[in-house]
Structure 1
Amino acid sequence: MGVLDGRVAVITGGGRGIGAALARAFAREGASLVVNDLGSAPDGVGGDKAPVHQVVEEINGSGGQAVADDGDVADLATGERLVATAVERYGKLDVLVNVAGILRDRMIFNLPEEDWDAVIRVHLKGHYSTIRPASAYFRGQRNPDGNYRIINFTSVSGLQGSPGQPNYAAAKMGVVGLTYSLAQALGRYGVTANAIAPGAATRLTGVLPAEGDPGELAPDNIAPIALYLASERSGWLSGRTVAAMGYEVGLYSNPEVIRQVNGTGPWEFEHLARVVESNFRPVADGPPPSVFVPRG
């Protein structure tokens, strides 16, 4: 018995790297799949249909069920087709996994407009194009206990602010905000939405461990947490970002106000400046200051 027996999933970016590792793992655990990948270069240029079809042939050759799609995920028509294919081929859709992405790294002062637009398009529009039809399908099932899952992919680049990836960081933090919104909007329809921030050696990252276990950063190590989030067992978890790298998993905190000062009326500049500097500025070698509530 697989943890995804009887479940149907759409996976984007499934031709290589993390997406391909997830597709293989989901198939081994019993899921029926629609796997999408345009097959472009890491910067989004070009297209190669072979990788996604090879992954699907491997899955089907091992006794699994998968169908390939090599369309551009940032086109809404592709997202609609992926959802429709899942429903027509397998009778339903349970899980949507958005992995597809590209990189065009530059410092912000050297970043061409087309590189900003291309990265935002693939990551954010690419999520929108699949989520819109999938969410409409989930809502139409009228099943608040449906155990439907949306799994998005963010990045430490956005969560921590990589200086050489302003376009990628902005897109990936946009994915986090989108995930929060989906969790709030779709819970009533039986949908959970979570994001994974992965660390793995792929074509995009080119990262390999300098020492230790050479398999630690293998994309396969991202699959277990994705399997859990896709399973019916994870229904308690929604609107969160999970970290996965090597043999570690973690849970990010959601943004919250950590310090607040309450005034009694409109702020006067010098008063506000003193309050902000005395309450919000970090204190070296000591705990942060306690909240100061001004009087009068």
Structure 2
Amino acid sequence: MGEFVAIMGMAHAPGVTGWIDACPVEDQKAIQAGYEELGRIMRDAKPDVIIGVGNDHLLNLPLKNPPNWRVDCAGEWNGPAEFFKAWLKQPGYHVKGRPDVAEVLVREAMASGFKIDRGENLLFDDNWSVPLWYLGYDVPILPIHMNCINPPVPEPAECIRFGRELRRIVREVLPPGLRVGLMGTGGLSHEPGGPRYFTMDTKFDRWFLQLMEESDADRVIREATIERMNEAGGGGTTELLAWMVAMAAAGGTPARTVFYVASQEMRCGIGGSVWTTFA
């Protein structure tokens, strides 16, 4: 059936395109080099579609009883949403979708009991706009907006289960020969608008990146709890739930940490991990 050709987790902090010139030069170079390497890896993998799993910043999901995931089944998007263009310093972009793949994913995940629904023409902010700035706009994207910050959010165990479901769908249900890239976006430690707005938990970030390198699902479920992530930065760090989805989709193979920069100017730990072999 289908196959994964590249899986990655990456931060999507708006400052990466919006105000990176505020960083020290060495941090600018490290951040840009890290994202450029992720972009090169994805391009070299030649995916037919990129599935994205990223936090919805209260733009698309309802505040009351939100689904854990909403799959966007549109055939194309123009982004970012108008409000975010100046903030991200992005003039706008156009990217195609894969509604045929999206509909299969929704159908299969619903049948497996996941709290998931579908939408069309959902709004994009930094969740997709920052990664796509480096990955490019030529490959169709299938965005999955995820509830990472509006309680109740899906627990790590449910995110691992969802990642394994994505793996099953890609490998057993999607058309033969379909080449699939997957990115989980969000994090690392940050607390948007909170008392620790300009403070990162570097120790936590490095520990989490090591967890991704090990890709031990049982340890992630046991140790990378919602409470532990909130201790590292409330209202933002739980975006790393999307990385857990990516890790599980890779099937337990180890990740490689591509880069990490603790950036006060970005108000976020900035980094990325990649899986290029899959079980």
TM-score by length of 2: 0.30
Rg comparison, structure with higher value = 1
TM, length-normalised to structure 1: 0.29
Which one has the bigger strand percentage? 2
